[in-house]
A and B are shown apart, each in its own frame.
Chain A
Amino acid sequence: MIWNALLLSLREIRRNLTRSFLTVLGIMIGVSAVITMVTLGNGATRAVQDQIASLGSNLIILRPGQRLGPGGGVGAPNFKLADAQAIESQVSGVEAVAPSIARSATIVRMARNWTSSVTGSTNAFFATGNWTLAEGRYFNDTEERAGRAVCVIGETVRRELFGAQSPIGGDMRIKQFSCEVIGLLASKGQSTFGMDQDDVIVMPLRTVQRRLTGSQDVNSIRISVQEGVSVDRAMAAVQQLMRERRKIGANEDNNFNLMDTRQIAETLTGTTRVLTMLLGAVAAVSLIVGGIGIMNIMLVSVTERTREIGIRLAIGALERDVLLQFLIEAVTLACLGGIIGIVLATVASYQLAQMMQVPFLFDARINVVSFLFSAAIGVVFGYFPARRAARLDPIEALRHE
């Protein structure tokens, strides 16, 4: 019986192709919107996770101010080099501590110029950031101590300023001073949401403090923890030490914040997840609107086919035969819409993922869930018109013009 009803509904859909297409349009758009949003959202989340994973799993970042983000550091004093040294000597299990300060600057080489962030730090910066050298060398002791004008640059900076040439030994002009390139970092490759990790220039801390910021301040300290040592315990020890050094009373809040990469990942992926859910929910509303479209057309269809229903009842169709026929027709339409929607979504989210430079992650679960949801919409919104059809009086229905 169900097989027959399916056959009948397919016949009916084929008989009215244009109308069937218009009927499923809403479901199609709804399903493809939901899947596209969720797929892209998942891709964005993955991109953020990958970027953070490239920082290393055992990294702690210490910044002034109570929270991360703009305005979070207002009023809170910066750190000093001595703070970093204290952490290195007093906290056990620490592998490397990199005090750093960054300034945005325009770098000129011959006819080319490039605006980037110039970071002043120590060789520990490379260890804590999981960087490796592609060419050249890191800073030596003399350069660090004396604050020489030397720098290690990232792949993007090399490409913008040196083109195809090797940058090692080359000179770049930063503000009023000239700086020699001694090393080129291996590319990390990821570039998402306009954050290019390879767009980096690193100089000795003292060089930046003297020539760019003009102060002894350090505005972030990166601490990498030894393998096998608890990151939580190291964080607690750093926090204790910093509260002492910054003379914070027992009842006062920290005027600095500590985050490990796991927390940063959670914060950022949390944001993208909320956005994904929000967009998915909006798309789901359009799916329900699509269901109302199906109900409308099915009601029209029942009225239009009243005589047909009368014939079926006269030749011996039971109420439930007619109910099943119209219900299955609605569900078949909804499912067809769902399938077309899935195909559209796969194409659209693949293209959009390329455009947005996020990975394309095919999520089987959201595809299955959307499909089942569209089938359920077919049942819910198809039931009312189907019941109306089934309850028609055969004599009245046969007289219907």
Chain B
Amino acid sequence: MTDTAPLIELRQVAKVYGAGMAAVHALREVDLRIDQGDFVAVMGPSGSGKSTAMNILGCLDAPTSGSYCFRGVRVEHLTRDQRALLRRHYLGFVFQGFNLLARTSALENVELPLLYRGLHASARRAAARAALASVGLSGWESHAPAELSGGQQQRVAIARALVTRPAVLLADEPTGNLDTARSREIMELLRALQSERGITIIMVTHEADMAAYARRIVRFLDGRVASDTLNGTLAA
């Protein structure tokens, strides 16, 4: 492809849980490059290592061996707090279960990541409103998660991930708890973010329908990358 430094580069990454006879090799010698602005779907059966790979890509976990280069930074050498700072500044997370704070308004949920950036209350509020507007939830700011539908909750979660203007959005089965129509809305939203804002999106999914929205599909099997293909059926 090009010779510019990739955003993300995994080299010979392995992850082993436990030790000795009980050791579980969740990842074995994984090599993966992801460029800025890509939209990657990660697929594979359960136990294939895709969740472990996501945790490592999201800097939530460190590899047992191999190297992970994020924007030229060797993540495997970072401390727990340094990885937290990396997440704070460059990464956004969207989870299958939404993971919003209960009894807390949508606006306050979206403001949450900004609290750790030391922004003023007025700046926080403005940014959170803008993020909610960008996911089509203007006017729902004061609603608590329990008062929102599943699709709306996931939009709030996406707004929370976007509010810090991250380089990468990591989505772990973002449509897993939603019906087909809601799922399509969420996927359209993600694709728009990728194409309009150039946000790199890495998404784990079970469903081929959802993976079809991605530009590239990486399949995991037994802790290895089994296939890495460009998506031919990319919808116009």
Contacts and interface: CB of A to CB of B under 8 A. Distances in A.
Interface of A: 1, 4, 8, 11, 15, 307-308, 310-321, 394-395, 398
Contacts of B95: 398
A318 B118 CA distance: 13
A219 B117 CA distance: 83
A315 B114 CA distance: 9
Contact of B116 (A11, A308, A317, A398): A317
Nearest to A401: B97
Nearest to A308: B101
Nearest to A311: B99
Given A11-B108, A314-B93, A315-B93, 20 more contacts: A1-B118, A8-B115, A15-B103, A310-B99, A311-B99, A311-B112, A312-B112, A314-B58, A315-B92, A315-B112, A315-B113, A315-B160, A316-B89, A317-B84, A317-B116, A318-B84, A319-B80, A319-B81, A319-B84, A321-B116
B139 to A, nearest CB: 22
B124 to A, nearest CB: 10
A318 B161 CA distance: 17
B103 A316 contact: no
Given A316-B113, A318-B81, A394 B88 contact: no
B87 A15 contact: no
B231 interface: no
Nearest to B93: A314
Given A307-B99, A311-B99, A395-B61, A318 B85 contact: yes
25 contacts: A4-B115, A11-B108, A15-B103, A311-B101, A312-B112, A313-B84, A314-B58, A314-B87, A314-B93, A315-B112, A315-B116, A315-B161, A316-B84, A316-B85, A316-B87, A316-B88, A316-B89, A316-B91, A316-B116, A317-B84, A319-B81, A319-B84, A321-B116, A395-B61, A398-B95
Interface residues of B, number: 28
Contacts of A398: 95, 99
A314 B59 CA distance: 9
Contacts of A319: 80-81, 84
B148 interface: no
Contacts of A313: 84
A237 B14 CA distance: 99
Interface of B: 55, 58, 60-61, 80-81, 84-85, 87-89, 91-93, 95, 99, 101, 103-104, 108, 112-113, 115-116, 118, 160-161, 164
Contacts of B112: 311-312, 315
A310 B99 CA distance: 9
Contacts of A308: 101
Contacts of A320: 81
B156 to A, nearest CB: 12
A398 B93 CA distance: 12
The listed residue with most B CB atoms (<10 A of its CB), out of A308, A311, A318, is A311
Contacts of B99: 307, 310-311, 398
Given A308-B101, A395-B60, A315 B87 contact: yes
Contacts of A317: 84, 88, 116
Nearest to B55: A395
A47 to B, nearest CB: 52
The listed residue with most A CB atoms (<10 A of its CB), out of B85, B91, B101, B115, is B115
A313 B193 CA distance: 24
A15 B102 CA distance: 9
B190 to A, nearest CB: 18
Contacts of A318: 81, 84-85, 116
A321 B84 CA distance: 11
B17 to A, nearest CB: 11
A1 B164 CA distance: 17
B50 to A, nearest CB: 14
Contacts of B91: 316
A150 B4 CA distance: 120
Contacts of B161: 315
A8 B111 CA distance: 12
Contacts of B61: 395
